[in-house]
Homo-oligomer: A and B are copies of this chain.
Amino acid sequence: MHVIDYEGIMKELRDLGATRVLIQSPEGLRKEAEALADFLEARGLEVILQGNVNYGACDPADHEAKLLGCDALVHLGHSKIPMALEVPTIFVPAFAEVDVVEALRKNMRDIRKLGERIGLVTTVQHVNSIERAISFLEGEGLRVIVGRGDSRVAWPGQVLGCNFSAARVDADGMLFVGSGYFHPVGLAITVKKPVLAVNPYSGDSFWVSEEAERLVRRRWAQIALAMDARRFGVITSSKKGQLRLAEARRVAELLRKNGREAKLIVMNTVSYPELEGFDFDAYVVVACPRIAIDDAENWRKPVLTPPEVELMLGLRDEYGFDEIQGVRRELQNR
C-alpha cells in the first residue's frame, strides 16, 4: 500500500557510515518499519525500532537515537521539517499507491465549479502524484496554481495540519487531494475560499465549507466554556517541531494582562488524562493545533488554541486557525 525505497535508505545509511540505526514510524507504517529492520539487519546494521507512535515530522526521535548510541535516525512517513537534530536523520515519505487522476476525472464537474484559477494542494502521501494531477487538470483546460509554501513543508503544494502556506496563492478556489477532514477544514478556514476535497482512495469528494462552519461553531462553544475560567494551563510540547515556548509565553502574558491566572506547562504527548490532578479551569494547547481541535471531546476542561484565546479576550473578531509557520522560502538559506 505504501512505496518505501529500502535500497535508497540503505545507500544513504552507508554514505553516513551508520552502523546502528533507530527507525521511527507512524501507526500506519509499523509493518513497513519491521520490514525495513529486517532488510537493514540482513545487511549488517544494528536496528532499534521506536515503539511509540509517531504523529509527524514535528516529533523526531533524534534525542532517543543519540541516547541509544545510534548513528542515524530513519523517520518513516513524513517529509522533513527544518529542526536542529542530534543525529543525522533520513526523512522517508511513504507515498500511497493510488491513482489520483482517476479520482479527479470522476469529480471534474465539481472541480470546474472552483473557478478558472484552481489552487492545488495535497498531503505528503500524494505529493509524488502532483505533477500527474497538474497535467491532467491542465489537459481539462483548467489553470492550476501550486504554491511553494514556506520552509515547514518540503514539497510544492504540500499542506500539513498546521501549515497551509502552500495554499496562499492567487486562486479562485482550492482543490485538496487527500483523505480525512482535518486538513481540508483547516485549509478552508485559513484561505477563506471555496475548497473541494477529493479523496483519491474512495474517489469521493465533498465541499468543505459546511464542515468548516460546523467546526467553527464547535470551537465557539469551547471558547464560551472557557469564558469564566480563572486559572489557565498553557501547554506547549517538548516535541521539537511543536515546541512553541515563545508563543506559549505570549499567550500566558495575554491572559495575565486580561485578569486571568496562567501557568506554563510542558508535555511530550499532550493528553488530558495526565492533567487530571491539576487544578486548572481551562487549558490552551500551544503545540499541534489538532490536539485542541480533534481531541476536545476527551478533555473534561475547556481547551483552546492561541487564536481562540484572543477571541475569548475580545482581542480579535474573526475565527482564526492555529497555524505553525515556517520561514519564507527565499529567506531560508540566507
The chain A residues found within 8 Å of chain B, CB to CB, are 22, 27-31, 33-34, 37, 46-53, 63-64, 67-69, 233, 235, 238, 240, 243, 245, 263-270, 274-279
Q: Is the Cβ of B279 less than 8 Å from the Cβ of A31?
A: yes
Q: Which chain B residue lies CB-closest to A31?
A: B279
Interface contact A22-B266, CB-CB below 8 Å: yes
Q: Report yes or no: A274 in contact with B51, Cβ–Cβ below 8 A.
A: yes
Question: For the complex, would chain A's binding face be called helix, strand, loop or mixed by DSSP majority?
Answer: mixed
Chain B residues closer than 8 Å to A270, beta-carbon distance: 51
Residue contact B275 to A51, C-beta cutoff 8 Å:
yes
Among B53, B63, B266, B275, the residue within 8 A (CB) of A274 is B53
Docked pose: A37 CA to B231 CA in angstroms: 13
* A48-B264 contact given A64-B238, A279-B31, CB 8 Å threshold: yes
A63 contacts across to B, CB distance below 8 A: 63
Chain B residue contacts of A37, Cβ below 8 A: 263
- Name which residue of chain B comes closest to A267, CB basis: B51
Min Cβ gap A188→B in Å is 31
- Decide: A49 and B263 in contact? CB cutoff 8 A: yes
Give the distance in Å from the alpha carbon of A277 to the alpha carbon of B31 in the complex: 7
A267: chain B residues within 8 A (beta carbon): 50-52
7 pairs from A and B in contact (CB 8 Å cutoff):
A22-B266, A29-B277, A30-B278, A31-B278, A46-B264, A49-B278, A51-B266
- The 7 A-B pairs at the shortest CB distance, nearest first, are namely A30-B277, A51-B267, A51-B265, A48-B264, A64-B238, A53-B274, A49-B265
A270–B53 alpha-carbon span in the complex (Å) = 11
Question: Which residues on B sit within 8 Å (CB–CB) of A275?
Answer: 51
List of B residues within 8 angstroms of A266 by Cβ: 22, 48-51, 64, 68
The smallest beta-carbon distance between A278 and chain B, in angstroms, is 5
Chain B residues with Cβ below 8 Å from A268 are 52, 64, 268
A48, B266: Cα distance in complex, Å:
7
Q: Contact between B263 and A68 (Cβ–Cβ < 8 Å)?
A: no
Q: Which residue of B lies closest to A239 (CB)?
A: B67
Chain B residues lying within 8 Å of A29, measured Cβ to Cβ, are 277
Contacting residue for A265 out of B48, B269, B277, CB 8 A: B48
Asked whether, in the complex, the Cβ of B277 is within 8 Å of the Cβ of A28, the reply is yes
CB distance from A39 to the nearest CB of B (A): 12
Point out which of A29, A46, A47, A266 has the most chain B C-beta atoms below 10 A from its C-beta.
A266
From B238, B277, B279, give the contact of A67 (CB < 8 A).
B238
Output the least CB separation between A65 and chain B (Å). 9
Report yes or no: B27 in contact with A235, Cβ–Cβ below 8 A. no
A51 neighbours in B (Cβ, 8 Å): 233, 235, 265-267, 270, 274-275, 278
Contacts of A235 in B (CB 8 A): 51
Q: Once the chains are docked, how many angstroms separate the CA of A263 from the CA of B40?
A: 12
Known: A263-B34, A267-B52. A27 touches B277 (CB 8 A): yes
Q: CA–CA, A117 to B276, complex, Å?
A: 44
